[in-house]
């Protein structure tokens, strides 16, 4: 969660310094075209920059007041940031440099360090304004490169200039790429005076007030640059399989039979599996890949993603995730990404589309698909059905009385129905009124806390689990009856347990264990974010143990569901690819055997979306989505991280090369 929010902050680059004649600049923060917040920056002749920054994202979101003292080289000599972070935790951060001595303190760090030469301090909890200050400093720096505190190095690159038109007039806007802070370049637009103009993404954008109409042109040009980089990656990292490939000396796993066959050969051609077995016939002229006794299994599924970051596709394939289900996105942008992946001009998994629908209001999700009436809902469902969507995801602000109608509309179009349980509705009511699936294990637990919290549109849906979840008796008649209902109606559960781990266990300076296995492989700026524990909920003193027990109860509930015969599909709702192994580890912690977890992450996921006749097994006639692992995840589920080679139909990838392309160290 912390990493995903850090990436969002980089995309929401806002307000920059101005001349003495222009003391104040205001920007709007838009999510899917709707205003979610604002930023205002005040500039003083003495180099002081003051910024107010806030936005609301379904009850979450930062509210920060920051003061920067900026030197002639554009580098801040002191920083003060106060307010609250995205999860409403307290922010009180300071930095100062005098000569070669730099000191800083925040919720997770208190350090003093001797530094030499120009060095830019990146705050832990600061506003996006800080990244604009960094860009201005980089433009002044030799080779447009600067060292960062606490670690790392940043570089800026000028890419393109366009005429941006808005109600406030016309300005030159220049696109810059900021390197060194994320997996792929971060982009921002500055005007001729190197002041902030816009930060764009398909989910959320920040733009100078009066220039909202310029965002389409800005987005088009920026996406062209992103596509250029994606095409270059795809060309250099994809090996097209133009003739049969025989993978020999492999340990082949069948997730349905839960068996492993040693010394087997798998032959693929034209994206399909031709033969499997110890005596499989190899066509003349076939290329041979010696697996050297590595573990060969079907590609993994992540059944809960929001495919948006430019690194997502590369991370998924590098991690062995060859299929995903997208559960809410910008429809136009998602369609373009799917086309590019299937055309081979981008790298990524197969994507199943599920469309979100929410109700209007202050806690509405970041989507334009908002419905307050049956007529509005019908129009949205029809549009999704007509554009290749297979599922409707109902979100938290839908009125309870509208939910049954949406289910009927979706089912009439042949679409599955899933989602968050709408506010003021229980999970039992959600199921009884037509849902086929529920996202997030906390939504099931809230069924037994309806006397504690009913409005689940806000972070109350998390806090209630921390404060009361441990008290839920999983052996009670109420729980057993509910689980029996889920089994009887064949309801699928998408638990996303890993997405709650840092939220419930992370504390300032004490991160949750979710990233332990991969933290050293991440860019240094991301390592700092993880180690800070900044993604945790604000917990009242003395409640830490209670929250840990509440989180453990979620894991225990997953185990109960599985043992009771309720269908489970693994999804992450987090950082692409690299977080799925942690979700699978948590299922093992819930008491599910590793072989069964692998079945859930392959064949059973394919079955839920009606692709089990062609995906999820290593069998003749199946699509050749295969991964080679240097280990045995049937014994140690964590070995799914050790993917070495990925076959995605008629394309072959080296996992290590993919990771390197997005600044992540390969698995040793």
Q: How does pLDDT run across 156-180, given as a tens digit for each residue?
A: 999 999 999 999 999 999 999 999 9
Instruction: Write down the pLDDT at residue 8.
Output: 37
Instruction: Write down the pLDDT at residue 510.
Output: 84
Closest residue by Cα to residue 203 from 366, 57, 82, 388 = 366
Residue 309 lies in a domain: no
For the chain, counts of helices (H) and of strands (E):
18, 32
pTM confidence score: 0.93
pLDDT at 18 over 60: no
Distance in angstroms (rounded) separating the CA atoms of residues 460 and 438: 18
Mean pLDDT (the chain) is 93
pLDDT band with cut points at 50, 70 and 90 for residue 576: very high
pLDDT at 617 over 60: yes
Q: Which residues contact 557 (CB under 8 A, 6 or more apart)?
A: 441, 444, 445, 472, 474
User: What length does the chain have?
Assistant: 668
Contact 326, 307 (CB under 8 A): yes
* 629 three-class SS: strand
Distance in angstroms (rounded) separating the CA atoms of residues 483 and 336: 40
Reading the block at residue 20, the tokens are 């003495």
pLDDT at 505 over 60: yes
Distance in angstroms (rounded) separating the CA atoms of residues 314 and 393: 26
Contact 263, 278 (CB under 8 A): yes
pLDDT digits (tens, 9 = 90+) for 484-495: 999 999 999 999
Domain boundary residue, one of 591, 617, 644: 591
Q: Which residues contact 231 (CB under 8 A, 6 or more apart)?
A: 345, 346
Q: Please give the angle made by the CA atoms of 380, 385 and 386, to the nearest 5 degrees.
A: 100
Reading the block at residue 381, the tokens are 């469902």
Distance in angstroms (rounded) separating the CA atoms of residues 298 and 598: 9
Domain boundary residue, one of 562, 591, 620: 591
Distance in angstroms (rounded) separating the CA atoms of residues 250 and 268: 14
Q: Which residues contact 127 (CB under 8 A, 6 or more apart)?
A: 14, 39, 51, 53, 62, 64, 66, 81
Residue 30 lies in a domain: yes
Whether a cis peptide bond, with omega within 30° of 0, leads into 150 is yes
Q: How many CB atoms lie within 10 A of CB 292?
A: 11
Biggest distance spanned by C-alpha atoms of the chain: 80
Q: How many CB atoms lie within 10 A of CB 161?
A: 15
pLDDT at 326 over 50: yes
Instruction: Write down the pLDDT at residue 269.
Output: 97
Closest residue by Cα to residue 316 from 665, 668, 653, 632 = 653
Closest residue by Cα to residue 475 from 556, 415, 404 = 556
Q: Quick one: what percent of the chain has pLDDT higher than 70?
A: 97
Closest residue by Cα to residue 504 from 568, 440, 592, 576 = 440
Q: How many CB atoms lie within 10 A of CB 563?
A: 12
Q: What is the DSSP letter of 109?
A: -
pLDDT at 292 over 80: yes
Distance in angstroms (rounded) separating the CA atoms of residues 454 and 427: 11
List the single range of 142-151, 202-211, 258-267 with lowest mean pLDDT: 202-211
Edge-to-edge strand order for the sheet containing 416-419? 300-305, 321-326, 350-357, 391-394, 416-419
Q: How many domains does the chain have?
A: 2
Domain boundary residue, one of 591, 619, 649: 591
Range of the domain at 33: 2-236
Reading the block at residue 509, the tokens are 């300076």
Q: What is the mean pLDDT of residues 318-340?
A: 96
Residue 291 lies in a domain: no
Residue 633 lies in a domain: no
Residue 599 lies in a domain: no
Distance in angstroms (rounded) separating the CA atoms of residues 297 and 617: 8
Residue 310 lies in a domain: no
Q: What is the DSSP string of 138-164?
A: HHHSGGGEEEEESS-EEEEEEEEEEEE
Residue 372 lies in a domain: no
pLDDT band with cut points at 50, 70 and 90 for residue 551: very high
Reading the block at residue 291, the tokens are 């697996």
Q: Which residues contact 634 (CB under 8 A, 6 or more apart)?
A: 253, 258, 260, 295, 594, 595, 598
Torsional class of 293: left (φ above 0), alpha (ψ -120 to 50), beta (otherwise): left
Distance in angstroms (rounded) separating the CA atoms of residues 255 and 493: 20
Residue 398 lies in a domain: no
Residue-wise burial string across 509-528, b where 16 or more C-beta atoms lie within 10 A, e elsewhere = eebbebbeebeebbbebbbb
Q: What is the DSSP string of 409-430?
A: HHHHTT-EEEEPPPTT--HHHH
**What are the backbone angles phi and psi of residue 250, rounded to the nearest 5°?**
-110, 155
Provide the β-strand partners of residue 52: 40, 65
């Amino acid at each position: 969660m912390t990493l995903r929010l850090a990436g969002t902050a980089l995309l929401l680059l806002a307000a920059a310094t101005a001349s003495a004649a222009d003391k104040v600049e205001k920007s709007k923060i838009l999510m899917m075209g709707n205003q979610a917040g604002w930023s205002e920056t005040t500039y003083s002749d003495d180099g002081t920059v003051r910024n107010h920054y806030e936005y609301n994202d379904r009850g979450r979101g930062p509210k920060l007041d920051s003061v920067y003292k900026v030197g002639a080289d554009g580098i801040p000599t002191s920083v003060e940031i106060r307010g609250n972070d995205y999860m409403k935790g307290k922010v009180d951060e300071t930095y100062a440099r005098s000569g070669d001595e730099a000191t800083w303190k925040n919720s997770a760090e208190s350090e003093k360090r001797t530094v030499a030469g120009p060095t830019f301090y990146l705050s832990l909890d600061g506003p996006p304004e800080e990244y604009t200050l960094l860009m201005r400093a980089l433009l002044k720096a030799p080779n447009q490169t600067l060292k960062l505190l606490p670690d790392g190095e940043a570089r800026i690159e000028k890419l393109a200039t366009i005429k941006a038109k808005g109600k406030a007039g016309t300005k030159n806007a220049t696109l810059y790429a900021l390197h060194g802070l994320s997996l792929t370049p971060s982009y921002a637009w500055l005007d001729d005076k190197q002041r902030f103009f816009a930060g764009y993404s398909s989910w959320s954008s920040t733009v100078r007030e009066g220039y909202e109409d310029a965002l389409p042109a800005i987005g088009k040009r920026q996406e062209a640059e992103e596509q250029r980089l994606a095409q270059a990656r795809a060309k250099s990292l994809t090996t097209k399989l133009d003739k049969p490939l025989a993978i020999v000396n492999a340990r082949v796993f069948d997730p349905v039979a839960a068996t492993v066959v040693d010394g087997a050969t798998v032959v693929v051609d034209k994206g399909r599996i031709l033969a499997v077995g110890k005596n499989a016939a190899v066509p003349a002229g076939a290329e041979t890949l010696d697996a050297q006794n590595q573990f060969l299994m079907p590609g993994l599924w992540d059944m809960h993603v929001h495919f948006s970051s430019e690194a997502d596709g590369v991370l998924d394939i590098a991690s062995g995730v060859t299929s995903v289900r997208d559960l809410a996105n910008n429809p136009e942008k998602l369609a373009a990404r799917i086309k590019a992946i299937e055309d081979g001009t981008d790298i990524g998994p197969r994507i199943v589309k599920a469309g979100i629908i929410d109700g209007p209001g202050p806690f509405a999700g970041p989507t334009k698909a908002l419905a307050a009436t049956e007529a509005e809902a019908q129009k949205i469902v029809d549009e999704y059905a007509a554009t290749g969507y297979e599922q409707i995801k109902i979100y938290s602000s839908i009125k309870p009385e509208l939910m049954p109608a949406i289910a009927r509309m979706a089912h009439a179009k042949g679409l599955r129905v899933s989602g968050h349980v709408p506010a003021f509705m229980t999970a039992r009511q959600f199921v009884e009124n037509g849902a086929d699936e529920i996202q997030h294990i906390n939504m099931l637990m809230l069924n037994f806390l309806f006397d504690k919290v009913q409005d689940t549109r806000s972070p109350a849906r998390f806090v209630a689990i921390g404060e009361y979840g441990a008290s839920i008796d999983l052996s009670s008649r109420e729980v057993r009856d509910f689980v029996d209902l889920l089994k009887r109606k064949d309801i699928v559960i998408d638990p996303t347990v890993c997405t709650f781990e840092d939220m419930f266990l992370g504390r300032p300076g004490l991160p949750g264990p979710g990233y332990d296995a991969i933290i050293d492989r991440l860019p240094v700026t991301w390592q700092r974010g993880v180690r800070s524990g900044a993604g945790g909920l604000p917990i009242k003193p003395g409640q830490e143990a209670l929250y840990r027990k509440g989180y453990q109860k979620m894991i225990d509930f997953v185990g109960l569901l599985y043992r009771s015969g309720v269908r489970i599909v693994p999804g992450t709702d987090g950082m692409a690819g690299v977080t799925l192994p942690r979700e699978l580890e948590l299922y093992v912690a819930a008491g599910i055997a590793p072989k069964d977890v692998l079945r859930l992450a392959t064949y059973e996921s394919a079955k839920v979306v009606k692709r089990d006749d062609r995906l999820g097994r290593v069998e003749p006639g199946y699509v050749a989505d295969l991964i080679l692992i240097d280990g045995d995840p049937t014994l140690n589920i964590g070995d799914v991280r050790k993917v070495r080679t990925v076959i995605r139909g008629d394309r072959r990838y080296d996992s290590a090369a993919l990771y390197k392309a997005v600044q992540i160290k390969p698995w040793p």
